[in-house]
Amino acid sequence: MEDIQGYQKPAENCQVIKPTIVPSLLLLQSSIIAITILIFFGSFLLPLGILLVVSFGLIGFFIGLVIFIIVFGSILAGTYHFTKMSLLKTEYRFYYSRVEYFEGFLVKNRKTVNYDRISNVGQRKGILEGRFNLGTIFIDTAGYSAKGHEIAMTNLKNPDKIYDWILKVTSKK
């Protein structure tokens, strides 16, 4: 089997590809998730904040601000930790006739797709991902749901090179 330079090749004659963890990008993604969660739950907590300000004035405002910072920091830290741990446990193994996908920190997923079932391979590089030379590669199979992809390989370093390699490997089968 052909080799992708810079990626681990285990003794089982398969090519292993793992996501790349960029702490600043992960922090930004986690911040967006934390802000989204706070906006959703903020509508429920707003009356509490107003009550604190009305009841205690400026001290109530600072108490509410401290509570907000603690809640935001906790959500941010939790999101960052669980996303990082999930990425550390994720790997894609390309064998002679199939690709195996392993993911999960709390909930573990494993999937095997034979090359002859692959109907489409796609690639996406967002603005932020592109800045760090990262991207996402999608593998679809015939008959799979239009809502998603069979396998979505995220945070891959040098996605153009990997995309071309996957097309070459899967087209031979």
pLDDT of 11 strictly over 60: no
Looking at residues 130-139, what average pLDDT do you find? Answer: 91
CATH code for position 118: 2.30.29
The domain boundary residue, chosen from 86, 101, 128: 86
Q: What is the pLDDT of residue 125?
A: 92
Q: What is the pLDDT of residue 63?
A: 87
Looking at residues 28-52, what average pLDDT do you find? Answer: 85
pLDDT of 135 strictly over 90: yes
Residues 80, 100 share a domain:
no
In a domain, 1, yes or no: no
In a domain, 111, yes or no: yes
Residues 167, 148 share a domain:
yes
pLDDT of 79 strictly over 80: yes
pLDDT of 173 strictly over 80: no
Name the more confident of 63 and 147.
Answer: 63
Tell me the three state secondary structure of residue 16.
strand
Residues spanned by the domain of 122:
15-19+93-171
Number of domains, the chain: 2
**Strand 98-103 with 109-114, pairing:** antiparallel
Q: Which residue pairs, CB below 8 angstroms and at least 24 apart, start in 163-171?
A: 163/121, 163/123, 163/135, 163/137, 165/2, 165/4, 166/94, 166/121, 166/137, 166/139, 167/121, 168/2, 169/1, 169/2, 169/94, 169/115, 170/115, 170/118, 170/121
Looking at residues 17-35, what average pLDDT do you find? Answer: 93
In a domain, 157, yes or no: yes
Residues 152, 111 share a domain:
yes
In a domain, 8, yes or no: no
In a domain, 69, yes or no: yes
Q: What is the pLDDT of residue 84?
A: 95
Name the more confident of 112 and 46.
Answer: 112
Residues 126, 64 share a domain:
no
Burial class (CB in 10 A: 0-12, 13-18, 19+), 103: buried
> How far are the Cα atoms of 100, 122, 152 from residue 141, in angstroms, in the given order?
14, 12, 12
In a domain, 120, yes or no: yes
